[in-house]
Amino acid sequence: MSKTKAKPKPVPDGRPVAQNRKARHDYEIIDTFEAGIALQGSEVKSIRSGKAQIRDSYARIEDGELWVHMVHIPPYEQAVGFGAHNPDRPKKLLMHRIEIERLKGKSQQGSLSLVPLSIYFKGGKAKMELALAKGRKTYDKRHELAARDAERDLRRVSANLGVQIH
């Protein structure tokens, strides 16, 4: 009798499978959008098992189509040979043409970037949350960290004193 591997538990709708936490630190998020991802079957299975990485990824509009680059989705373990895919291939993002044109106009207007924030499943379909963002300078990042630390210290002190701060 052969041993069977445990199947990965299905991910509930809307819960991120992969996140780009560094993006919220490196960029000032102006607006967020949802886009579908055109994937192969083995890529979907690999994402469902939680192995996608979007840390250094970015999106671009090329010939009126939206593409995401540098998303690493390793091959699914059971998909050998025929079902294997290139882990770093550019993936097409699915949005309405009007939304893509609006994104193009906004991104060219103020030197903004399109940065992926997370990958999640919604109704059985893989979706990507994209952000229209402006890059932060080093001093902006330090200022944000200092403000966050000050707020955390204030909450800690108020909790010790039994006072609630909103």
Return d(Cα 164, Cα 166) in angstroms, integer. 7
pLDDT for residue 134: 87
Rounded (10°) CA dihedral 80, 85, 87, 92 = -150
CA 36-76-114 angle, 5° bins = 30
Higher pLDDT, 1 or 65: 65
The model's pLDDT over 30-57, given as tens digits with 9 standing for 90+, comes to 999 999 999 988 888 888 888 889 988 9
The model's pLDDT over 93-137, given as tens digits with 9 standing for 90+, comes to 999 999 999 999 888 887 888 999 999 999 989 999 999 988 877
The model's pLDDT over 74-101, given as tens digits with 9 standing for 90+, comes to 888 776 666 677 788 899 999 999 999 9
Its CATH class, for the domain covering 16-135, is mainly beta
